[in-house]
């Protein structure tokens, strides 16, 4: 079942904050991750889709039905929150069966369904436990099972992993993704963790100041960010100002570099984005776009070292990643200098 937001705007009463003209679609079975800095409108978007916040303009359409005026409990949407929000007085099984009880499914059937869901999330043996006896990661799997038990028309995941330890997070990320795919659940995942978004999502939607800046596949948003704001938020990078000096040539101030400048006229001011893995350490002396300098701070990451490389006049260091840091020069292939227009 597809989910469509069509020109959705919302202001919190008495404020100019909220969402501004957001349009996006989530296809059936697709997982779209919503990212953006704190205050960018991620939770507001989720609350509007859930019906927890009302009074927006534009349309929210689920499976062809306009839900804009539909109350929360009639939207038939499954939700998972950061805080698990399990019922402490109910067993694990009864937590999962809860939504079915509300929908008047008979006891035997809802217990069977809840047990099936617990088996799927790997907690089949925990059905009779109290929720307090489970770890955070286990509680979140119960919350996922509970959300899926009602066979929801869409699944909303609100920072589901952010309360968990890093060690649990990586594993649960994979598990949630694989269960979401198995159920073909149309899913919106809100996260402040851009790496989580890239790893889990079919597409990533980036919000800032209540506006949608870009929606694209993880690869597209990383390799072709639509703006400086997206480039800065997604992945690591070095971003420097430049001017088009001639077709295929950039004046960086401290050097002239070859780059794909497209049809931009002479003198056009741009920003240039370089990803750390595209910086080649110690290229041959006659390499294109060779920049001499010296390595500054280094962070050992195991297979790679991340390091700053200082080029005189650049104003800030290049952030690079390679097996070993550069000794005296770097090079950046022309196709790896991405131009961001103002
Ligand atoms: P995010 O989830 O991306 O951190 P939110 O959706 O919570 O952002 O908030 C978007 C904007 O709306 C922010 O400027 C925030 O301060 C404002 N906001 C959030 N909740 C309320 C509220 N209940 N009343 C007024 N303003 C709010």
Residue nearest to atom 6 of ligand 1 (CA): 41
Mutate which of 34, 41, 206 for ligand 1? The one with the most ligand atoms within 8 Å of its CB, which is: 41
Mutate which of 8, 20, 43, 46 for ligand 1? The one with the most ligand atoms within 8 Å of its CB, which is: 43
Q: What percent of the chain has pLDDT over 90?
A: 92
Residue nearest to atom 27 of ligand 1 (CA): 12
Contact predicate 112/93, CB 8 Å: no
The whole-number pLDDT of residue 165 equals 87
pLDDT at residue 82 is higher than 90:
no
Across the strands, what pairs with 244? 250
The whole-number pLDDT of residue 327 equals 95
Q: What is the pTM of this model?
A: 0.93
Sign, CA dihedral 118-124-127-131, equals negative
The whole-number pLDDT of residue 73 equals 86
Please tell me the distance from the alpha carbon of residue 246 to that of residue 292, in angstroms, as a whole number: 23
Contact predicate 58/21, CB 8 Å: yes
Cα distances (Å, whole numbers) of residue 198 to 154, 172, 188, 222, 330:
20, 15, 14, 8, 28
Mutate which of 8, 10, 11, 12 for ligand 1? The one with the most ligand atoms within 8 Å of its CB, which is: 12
Contact predicate 253/241, CB 8 Å: yes
Cα distances (Å, whole numbers) of residue 121 to 276, 284, 308:
37, 53, 43
Across the strands, what pairs with 299? 306
Q: How wide is the angle at C-alpha 327 spanned by C-alphas 325 and 329, nearest 5°?
A: 100
pLDDT at residue 83 is higher than 90:
no
Is the Cβ atom of 82 under 6 angstroms away from ligand 1?
no
Is the Cβ atom of 16 under 6 angstroms away from ligand 1?
no
Question: For residue 325, how far is its CA from the centre of ligand 1 (angstroms)?
Answer: 42
**Which residue, among 110, 79, 78, has the nearest Cα to 93 in the 3D structure?**
110
Q: How much is the average pLDDT of 191-213?
A: 96
- 87 confidence band (pLDDT: 50, 70, 90): very high
- 320 confidence band (pLDDT: 50, 70, 90): very high
Q: How much is the average pLDDT of 216-242?
A: 96
Q: Quick one: which atom of ligand 1 is closest to the CA of 37? A: 3
Cα distances (Å, whole numbers) of residue 161 to 54, 80, 144, 169:
26, 10, 11, 6
Mutate which of 9, 13, 18 for ligand 1? The one with the most ligand atoms within 8 Å of its CB, which is: 18
The whole-number pLDDT of residue 118 equals 95
Long-range interactions of 251-258: CB distance < 8 A, separation 24+: 252/314, 253/313, 253/314, 253/315, 254/311, 254/312, 254/313, 254/314, 254/315, 255/291, 255/311, 255/313, 257/289, 257/332, 257/334, 257/337, 258/288, 258/289, 258/334
Q: How much is the average pLDDT of 183-204?
A: 95
Question: For residue 17, how far is its CA from the centre of ligand 1 (angstroms)?
Answer: 7
Q: Quick one: which atom of ligand 1 is closest to the CA of 17? A: 12
pLDDT at residue 233 is higher than 90:
yes
Question: For residue 39, how far is its CA from the centre of ligand 1 (angstroms)?
Answer: 5
Q: Is 184 exposed, middle or buried (0-12, 13-18, 19+ CB in 10 A)?
A: exposed
Please tell me the distance from the alpha carbon of residue 286 to that of residue 153, in angstroms, as a whole number: 59
């Amino acid at each position: 079942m597809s989910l469509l937001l069509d020109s959705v705007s919302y202001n919190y009463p008495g404020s100019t904050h909220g969402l501004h003209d957001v349009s996006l679609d989530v296809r059936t079975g697709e997982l779209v991750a919503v990212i953006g800095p704190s205050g960018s409108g991620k939770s507001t978007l989720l609350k509007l889709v859930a019906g927890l916040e009302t009074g927006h303009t534009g349309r929210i359409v689920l499976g062809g039905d306009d839900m804009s005026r539909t109350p929360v409990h009639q939207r038939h949407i499954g939700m998972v929150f950061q805080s698990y929000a399990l019922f402490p007085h109910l067993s694990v099984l009864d937590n999962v069966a809860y939504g079915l009880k509300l929908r008047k499914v008979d006891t035997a059937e809802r217990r069977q369904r809840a047990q099936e869901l617990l088996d799927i999330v790997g907690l089949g043996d925990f059905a009779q436990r109290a929720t307090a006896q489970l770890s955070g990661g286990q509680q979140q799997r119960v919350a996922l099972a509970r959300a899926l038990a009602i066979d929801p028309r869409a699944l909303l995941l609100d920072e589901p992993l952010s309360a968990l330890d890093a060690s649990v997070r990586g594993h649960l990320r994979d598990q949630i993704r694989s269960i979401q795919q198995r159920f073909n659940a149309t899913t919106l995942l809100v996260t402040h963790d851009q790496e989580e978004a890239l790893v889990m999502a079919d597409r990533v939607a980036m919000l800032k100041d209540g506006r949608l800046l870009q929606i694209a596949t993880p690869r597209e948003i990383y390799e072709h960010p639509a703006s400086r704001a997206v480039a800065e938020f997604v992945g690591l990078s070095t971003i420097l100002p430049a001017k088009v000096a001639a077709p295929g040539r950039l004046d960086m101030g401290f050097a002239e570099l070859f780059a794909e400048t497209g049809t931009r006229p002479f003198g056009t001011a741009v920003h240039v984005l370089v990803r750390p893995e595209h910086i080649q350490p110690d290229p041959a002396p006659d390499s294109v776009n060779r920049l001499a300098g010296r390595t500054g701070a280094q962070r050992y990451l195991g297979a790679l070292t991340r390091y700053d490389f200082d080029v005189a006049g650049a104003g800030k260091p290049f952030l690079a990643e390679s097996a070993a840091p550069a000794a005296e020069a770097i090079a950046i292939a022309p196709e790896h200098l991405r131009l961001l227009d103002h």
